[in-house]
Structure 1
């Protein structure tokens, strides 16, 4: 069952011309459109399905800086600044609450891992700190486990995935952006080597720039343009509970569970460190791209082979712009969750926090996460195609850092001083191989 996302009404007319077309109506795409519109730049956002209907509404709803790759910390900090103002920016309830996040440690080795991260984070002057065993219950009461320690960041927060992207899209519309749903972009057109327009299923839109924020679809779109984008899909399984009394307000993750309180009084629950990776044709095509980081990430992935291999084998990898595309054939990716993984999450969480033993499951869902080899997003122009920009590969971090990513993408398109240093997110690192030396 897919989460129920707040609806966004599509604009009634498709403009023949604009300055920028944003492809994809997830949290990053709508944020890009919002900040472009805020700059007074004409922008059209094209979403093949519904706003926020894929991973942007299916994630955990965490908005964190804690535990990020050091390359992502500045983007996370910029995003949190925006999240704190998001209800005012959008004039709507996005669910943001600065309730803090805790990572719980069962062993001394886990504590030492977070001590090492704190050394990397120290230059950013974050409020993250390690909690001794005796301090944990004051921040996160109700646990039945004798934790070895915990990492706590009071300034981190949470928001509602089913509300945030739609609210940002409506705010962008009020600033002049055109929001089109049920409107797939089939491809781009160029003139003298520069972006000159896009072809949608309903016709052409002339434009000077395109931002591809297509999430799990981005690699397929780039492939039709002969652009190599090393990106795989990973399945996350999530559930939400009915309203539950007596459980913590603070968001938390242990080694094998994670939870976040929701606006409705229920909780979003997942099995931490246990995503499912379906073996597909791209698993073989991109094997050597992902090989360098398999040593550190394989423990968090559960490999399986099944029907998805044949499903993706049958998807066309190239098409002409007058043909129906895969984006029109599948409007919304809606995979089934892995029930075994969710059962583990319930059992592990109930063991750690007895209040959750009484949880009643309201619904569960799956979501496909776009992952890069170094788990760092691409927010970047593409040098070989002036006017074409990527904002993709968020590797499960897109909801939390989405507003900052959209602001950075808008700055790059506009040629303004970027909100944060864009160098770590450049597409060229996968062309010249420099990401391997930095990992």
Structure 2
């Protein structure tokens, strides 16, 4: 069972009409709803399960510019600016802190790879810098492992995944947004070639705009509309410890482990590289588009063939709006964690830093990450369906970029001037002959 997000009380009335419907109650969907509500635009957020029950509460909690694809940098810079004021904006604790983030370098080859990323980031004038071996050791007191150096960004930080999206959702409610949990959207209705409404399991809502922030479910939802969204799911497993004292405050990544301090005094720990990938029908459907990612990340992928193939094969890809949908049959993706990976990460961390030897594991969990072929999100209008905006495929980078992505999605659905140039996030890049490539770190 996954971590328990802070609770959000659903609104009881099912509105007959609104300006915009947001589908999905993770950090992207709630941030979009808050942006719209603050602008005086009526918005209903529909979540098939509960707010932040999936990957938005299950991620590492890192809020980073460092190591990102350069296409994401303008948006994460804006998102970090929003995170700095998020407690005041929501009137709640989100756990945001500028703790700094460090990527350790085991050898000179890793130093060179990080220096290459710095060249990509140089135009953005970040405070990221390379550390010497001595500077890296100073930042990690008590660490037994000696590193060749590190890539460090002091202004990067952390926040609490179980708190952030719920805080944003409650703030959106306070500004007039309607939050409907356990209310799946079955599909979209059109009139004159444009969106005219959505049909939920509870009834119809008239609207002119829809933002799909459905995470790992987005491909399935789009397929029923005849929209091709190249997307696969990747599972990452995490553990948290009971509170510990006297250990590093800086979020730290190494190949065999990654850790960050939690607001409760414990630590979130995960394998620094490895993710689990199930072979499913979509694996073959999008094999060609994902080949660059497969070649680049092959060593970090644990590929399996299991019951997930048949589960996806037997999941309907088409349905009528008066039928029960897959979103109602399975409300929350709650995969069993790979405990071998999490326990191995903790043991590697203990071997590197003896101070973690007394760590008591409080919980293991896993989450399903929505990935695109180039590991860059889709935040984009759909030309064939005016009024429909997709905001998904954040590829494990979504928590930190969430507030900025919500702002951009709100701009696009209202035809406002976008906060950043959205062209890098267009859906059409996967079909217009653009080169699919991965740039950046983890």
In 2, Cα distance between equivalents of 1:435 and 1:409? 24
Contact 2:411 2:418 in 1 (8 A): yes
Give distance in 1, aligned partners of 2:408 and 2:348: 38
Secondary structure of 2:365 counterpart: strand
Specify the alignment match of 2:186 in structure 1. Answer: 186
In structure 1, how many angstroms separate the alpha carbons of the residues matched to 2:11 and 2:98?
34
Report how far residue 246 of structure 1 moved. Answer: 2.1
Deviation of the 1:300 alpha carbon: 1.4
Q: Quote the residue 1:27 is aligned against.
A: 27
Match of 2:107 in 1: 107
Matches within 5 A, 1:31-50: 31-50=31-50
Identify if the C-alpha distance between structure 1 residues 435 and 37 changes in structure 2 by more than 3 Å, giving closer, same or farther: farther
Q: Distance in 2 between matches of 1:139 and 1:148?
A: 13
**Residue 353 (structure 2) aligns with:** 353
1:438 is displaced (CA, Å) by: 8.8
Would the aligned equivalents of 2:197 and 2:205 in 1 still touch at CA under 8 Å?
A: yes
Measure how far apart 1:292 and its partner are. Answer: 2.8
Q: Name the structure 2 match of 1:70.
A: 70
**Cα distance in 1 between the residues matched to 2:372 and 2:343:** 28
Structure 1 distance, partners of 2:318, 2:283, is 18
After superposition, where does 1:25-424 map in structure 2 within 5 Å? 25-424=25-424
Conserved 8 A contact 1:374-1:435? no
4+ residue runs of structure 1 moved beyond 6 angstroms? none
Evaluate the alpha carbon distance shift between residue 43 and residue 291 of structure 1 in structure 2; reply closer, same or farther with a 3 A threshold. Answer: same
Q: How far apart, in 2, do the equivalents of 1:213 and 1:270 lie?
A: 25
Displacement, 1:46?
0.2
- Deviation digits for residues 392-412 of structure 1, max 9, x if unmatched? 000000001001000010011
Contact 2:69 2:438 in 1 (8 A): no
In the alignment, the residues of structure 1 paired with residue 275 and residue 397 of structure 2 have an alpha-carbon distance, to the nearest angstrom, of 14
* Superposition CA RMSD, Å: 1.0
Paired with 2:368 and 2:314, the residues of 1 have a C-alpha distance of 18
SS of aligned partner of 1:277: strand
Q: Alpha-carbon deviation of 1:437?
A: 7.3
1:435 Cα offset (Å):
4.1
SS in 2 for 1:187: strand
How far is the alpha carbon of 1:252 from its aligned partner? 0.5
Which deviates further from its counterpart, 185-194 or 428-437?
428-437
**Uncovered stretches (5+) of structure 1, i.e. residues with no partner:** none
Q: CA deviation at 1:216?
A: 0.2
Structure 1: distance between partners of 2:151 and 2:274: 20
Q: Does the CA-based 8 Å contact 2:292-2:438 persist in structure 1?
A: no
- Determine the C-alpha separation between the residues in 1 that align with 2:142 and 2:420: 39
Using the size of structure 1 for normalisation, the TM-score is 0.99
- Shift of residue 430 of structure 1? 1.6
TM-score (norm. length: structure 2):
0.98
Distance of 2:286 and 2:148 partners within structure 1: 39
2-structure distance, mates of 1:288, 1:424: 20
Please state whether the residue corresponding to 2:427 is helix, strand or coil: coil
- Counterpart-to-counterpart distance in 2, 1:142 and 1:408: 42
Aligned equivalent of 2:3: 3
1:226 match: secondary structure? coil
- What runs of 5+ residues in structure 2 fail to find an aligned partner? none
Number of the residue aligned with 1:430: 430
Q: Deviations over 1:294-332 (max 9, x none)?
A: 211212111011111111111111100000000000000
Paired residue secondary structure (2:12): coil
For residues 433 and 198 of structure 1, the distance between their equivalents in structure 2, rounded to whole angstroms, comes to 33
1:437–1:249 CA distance, 2 compared to 1 (3 A): closer
